[in-house]
Amino acid sequence: MTEQTVHVLLVEDNSLHLRLIQKLLAGETQLNYQVEAVGTLTDALACLENRPIDLILLDLILPDSQELETLFKVRSAAPEVPVVVLTSLDDVSLAARAVEAGASDFLLKTRLSGITLGRAIRYTLARVRAHGAEWDSPMLRLAQQQFLKAAQIMGLDDNIRQRLLFPQRTQVVSFPFFRDDRSQVETVFGYRVQHVLTMGPTKGGIRYHEDVDLGEVAALATWMTWKCALMGLPFGGAKGGVRVDPTTLSKKELQRLTRRYTAEIIDIIGPDKDIPAPDMGTNEEVMAWLMDTYSQQMGYAVPAVVTGKPVVLGGSLGRREATGRGLVYMIEAAASHIGIDLQGASAVVQGFGNVGSYAARFLEEAGARIIAVSDVSTGLYNPNGLSVSALNQHVAENHVLQGFPEAETISNAELLELECDVLALAALQNQVTVNNAGRINCRLLAEGANGPTTLEADEILNERGVLILPDVLGNAGGVTVSYFEWVQGMQNLTWTHDEVNERLKSILLNAFERTLQRATRDSQDLRTAALIEGVARVTEAKLLRGVFP
């Protein structure tokens, strides 16, 4: 279930309808609602002044205001907040006029169910978001700020700087899929963004998450470009996503959604064009459906259209654990650079999905004591060390960490501030910010997630002597083994597990060494040095190819 809370102002003077709507909202599972209920326009306007409201459910006939007048007054008090009009059967034409006059939708009170109400609210919010500046996301701002900082330090040509700031190709789709009851059709937004097409095919994961928007996908595609260039892989960066909470969908629904999304973006993907992979909310199974849909359209099996697929379909050995394994190779290198011996070192891992759980396992194998871990359900702390195999077993049985017996529970904020040698961030973006950077208590902060640290937080941590292993190095293991999978697929070869891991280690450590040398030589932090390495390679390629025509 989602954590997102929607603040709804419910303006309804009929107490029966009021109670019904409140009850329906309380029973809705896809979003959490915080409802403020009032019965007059005066109270509604006061509420809009004092509280943050995401959406207004509005009865147009109130004791102190009637018909469109009600809508106009509400809209002029809060022009940016969407209004869904509540109407009875005999007032439908008034409701339709209200929609013409700027309301987002109307709902018939007599035919209201939890499903119709929930959908109207979700679709209205999705529309508002689509109408708003999609590019304007905090993540894209962060990716662009980081890039501009690197560009300035390296004295990047202004033409190239403009060219790399936004992605080269973007596809935005909205598409339907059937829910399991076959009576409901959900419409969702999907994206595929290709940031740089100069280096070869583009490469990057597909994310299913309720917060996905164009700006987020563009930021992630940008980071993929730097990451691939830094590793020396023959790819430009891409990313895809669907704005949906996959935890609310059944497996069959996920499969229908994936197949339709694939069909929508089929023209711009392909083994020589753009190769998707798993990311947050997607996995091997989703890649199998994507590969099957693509192959059905082509008329023959095309395993190399995706990476991160099951081994039996041409997936690479070692791909599943590659991001976590790569993170730990990098942590070992960074730790030894600052004199931390992982044997006996204390480590905290935020996030226990694919990246975090494998990172915890490999850290434990390297001799570290895992004193805390977390996932969406809880944080766990045990100063004597948690057993990663026991944690994995608990998650296999219960899906989440919550309820694990051999630990104290702690909040996410507390977990981030624990004293430790290594803090590995393998959850979401925007975790270490100006608000908590001063209290982060580790020696090495290793980024497994994309964009978990803001630029201001970087500065504070650098000043405090915390070494940051940036995401473009920290999580590059995933795309590096994806590259191996693609190469194996194109050549119909299979490599052994050892071969994969050896090649992975050598590529990652080489990139780490180059970055460290540059950072030392130019007195830069690792993030800036890593970005400069990546940007320099892309720039060289762009200049060699020139501008068409």
What residues line the site for ligand GLU (CB under 6 A)? 203-205, 277, 279, 307-308, 450, 475, 478-479, 482
Q: Which is nearer to ligand GLU, 117 or 476 (CB)?
A: 476
Q: Which is nearer to ligand GLU, 378 or 482 (CB)?
A: 482
Structure tokens at 406: 């051999």
Q: Could you tell me whether strands 408-410 and 379-381 are parallel, antiparallel, or unpaired per DSSP bridges?
A: antiparallel
Q: Provide the minimum distance between the beta carbon of 491 and ligand GLU in the complex, in angstroms, as a whole number.
A: 18
E strands, 28-160, where?
32-38, 55-59, 83-87, 105-108
Buried b / exposed e along 400-421 (16+ C-beta atoms within 10 A): ebeebeebeebebeebbbbebb
Q: Provide the minimum distance between the beta carbon of 315 and ligand GLU in the complex, in angstroms, as a whole number.
A: 11
Q: Provide the minimum distance between the beta carbon of 275 and ligand GLU in the complex, in angstroms, as a whole number.
A: 7
Task: Report phi then psi at 185, rounded to 5.
Answer: -115, 120
Q: Which is nearer to ligand GLU, 192 or 203 (CB)?
A: 203
Q: Which is nearer to ligand GLU, 104 or 307 (CB)?
A: 307
Dihedral class, residue 437 (left if φ above 0, else alpha if ψ from -120 to 50, else beta):
alpha
Q: Provide the minimum distance between the beta carbon of 497 and ligand GLU in the complex, in angstroms, as a whole number.
A: 18
Q: 3-state SS of 407-439? A: CEEECHHHHHCCCCCEEEECCCCCCECCCCHHH
Q: Provide the minimum distance between the beta carbon of 10 and ligand GLU in the complex, in angstroms, as a whole number.
A: 40
CB count, 10 Å around CB of 144? 19
Select the residue whose beta carbon is closest to ligand GLU and give its number. Answer: 205
Q: Which is nearer to ligand GLU, 327 or 432 (CB)?
A: 327
Q: Which residues are catalytic?
A: 239
| Alpha carbons 57 and 298: distance in angstroms, whole number | 47
| Alpha carbons 546 and 544: distance in angstroms, whole number | 6
Strand-pairing partners, residue 57, are: 10, 84
Q: Is the peptide bond before 549 cis (omega within 30 degrees of 0)?
A: yes
